[in-house]
Structure 1
């Protein structure tokens, strides 16, 4: 997006995350950070004073006071200040897409006043990654501190899904569960890893399309779990990761925010299959699905994702 956003001066010197008004930014932060929280709650506007009565005051509008932004700690080295609301009728003038927005700016939690911007070179790769992932998840945007550009992440970029379950399937059962969801693809024989006694074995299953690349399903036990799983009941997930990934014809386009039209067409055809595979696995072994951005995908969202793109 080439338009340079004109943001409130309170956000000068900060990287800014813009999300649709009302988005649960704290909930999104919990997907990436262990113990985020408000160190200062946002304050609602002061109630407007009573409207004077009488003919002489007819047509007079009494405004409520401004919203006082809060301060949210992400981790020991990062915080956010916000939200600063932008009404729908202000969005165009500020160089933002249509609609109402909430703005959050990066801040330094170690300073005497959290209102001070974080030094731009001190914003960690993790925080930068979360800003982009959150903008992608909410169809928002990120404005760097220098205001030289506006990053609008491609919301369709991350189609990969991972089911975290306590139940491992055998290679034969894995094929039986996912093959019906792989309509239109040539499904190969499972590749099986080394077996250790009676322990379940890791395996890989590859489905190949004529024009759209491959969908690869792998099953392996993981020693590290995504942070977001700490926010749900421990019984709702497990250490067995069923990763459902797309491998396009040109893998270099996977990380592009402006992929080619051919890549987008292929992605739109394949993405519903990935969701159907994840759904089939979840029905078989339960567990929790996490998307490529590190956020939980609900069963209803999986149903939505499984529908072909119009």
Structure 2
């Protein structure tokens, strides 16, 4: 998708992340970079208005540069994201970004000396944020716009402190994932829970796997929450489409999209049911917390 180079001049030479106006970028940053913080907070509307250069005959001929109202968000103490710069829906459309009131943020287009994070991680985070929020990215070259499909990834994981045995989990997920069955032998009766996998297969839609496993590594975003809100048991609900390669292409076939639309509500319903049983926190494939209200919304057929 071709994009004209009409972004604010202050962002020249930077990659640009566009998110819907009013999005809290700090919360999204801490999902991947827990120490992220504003080293300079963005000016409020009132502060920006108060800082405008004075006009009138008394000040004529005096050149005063207006202060930059943008903030500086430090991801790791070195790598900085600058913004927001607000643009209207028409301006966003002209940049080949989603046609909505947006906030633009500048990201480094080259490695930053002394940074503790790899540039690829920053780019991956920006792409995940764009997908999560329904935003987009303009590369520094301004030769195209990247607009990830928010509906492209339907997998969810519930992180809980409570393990279920497979014979308890199966009747919970079957109403949402019809035909679910145990994919591996269950542990001996009375034995300690060791995890399990359930699978539901569909003729045209591939299969959905529910895998419960204890993990020593959990998503970074969980470190920002109270420890009582999650646990080491991950209930991973994953869709395996008929053609897995279609997960990697920006414009999958219509058959893939239709299958995804049929499967996505079932995944959300299964996760919602598990959450009501064992509690915990739901995290999407991008590493961001998914509120329960959103899980319920996803569970409604479209």
Superposition TM-score tier, normalisation by shorter sequence: 0.7 to 0.9
User: Could you tell me which residue of structure 1 aligns to residue 258 of structure 2?
Assistant: 265
**Structure 1 CA distance, aligned partners of 2:275 and 2:236?**
12
**Structure 1 CA distance, aligned partners of 2:95 and 2:208?**
41
**Structure 2 CA distance, aligned partners of 1:92 and 1:212?**
34
Q: Could you list the runs of 5+ residues in structure 1 that have no partner in the other structure?
A: 53-64, 108-116
Matches within 5 A, 1:157-306: 157-183=152-178, 186-192=179-185, 198-306=191-299
Q: Could you list the runs of 5+ residues in structure 2 that have no partner in the other structure?
A: 57-65
Closer, same or farther: CA 208–169 of 1 in aligned 2, 3 Å: same
**Structure 2 CA distance, aligned partners of 1:50 and 1:125?**
44
**Structure 2 CA distance, aligned partners of 1:200 and 1:289?**
21
Deviation at 1:98, TM superposition (A): 2.1
Q: Deviations over 1:82-125 (max 9, x none)?
A: 11111335334444332211111114xxxxxxxxx644898622
Q: Deviations over 1:247-284 (max 9, x none)?
A: 00000111222111111000000000000000010011
Closer, same or farther: CA 7–51 of 1 in aligned 2, 3 Å: closer
Q: Count how many residue pairs are aligned between Structure 1 and Structure 2.
A: 285
Secondary structure of 1:191's partner?
coil
Q: Deviations over 1:147-195 (max 9, x none)?
A: 1111000111110000000000011111121112113xx3233414777
8 Å Cα contact 1:42-1:71 kept in structure 2 = yes
Q: Deviations over 1:193-234 (max 9, x none)?
A: 777x94311211110001000000001000011111122211
User: Could you tell me which residue of structure 1 aligns to residue 63 of structure 2?
Assistant: none
Over the residues paired in the alignment, what is the CA RMSD in angstroms?
2.4
**Structure 2 CA distance, aligned partners of 1:274 and 1:84?**
37
Secondary structure of 2:49's partner?
coil
Q: TM-score, normalised on structure 2?
A: 0.87
User: Could you tell me which residue of structure 1 aligns to residue 127 of structure 2?
Assistant: 132
Closer, same or farther: CA 142–87 of 1 in aligned 2, 3 Å: same
**Structure 2 CA distance, aligned partners of 1:244 and 1:287?**
15
User: Could you tell me which residue of structure 2 aligns to residue 17 of structure 1?
Assistant: 17
Deviation at 1:76, TM superposition (A): 4.4
Closer, same or farther: CA 92–155 of 1 in aligned 2, 3 Å: closer
Secondary structure of 1:146's partner?
coil
User: Could you tell me which residue of structure 2 aligns to residue 96 of structure 1?
Assistant: 97
Deviation at 1:145, TM superposition (A): 1.2
8 Å Cα contact 1:181-1:277 kept in structure 2 = yes
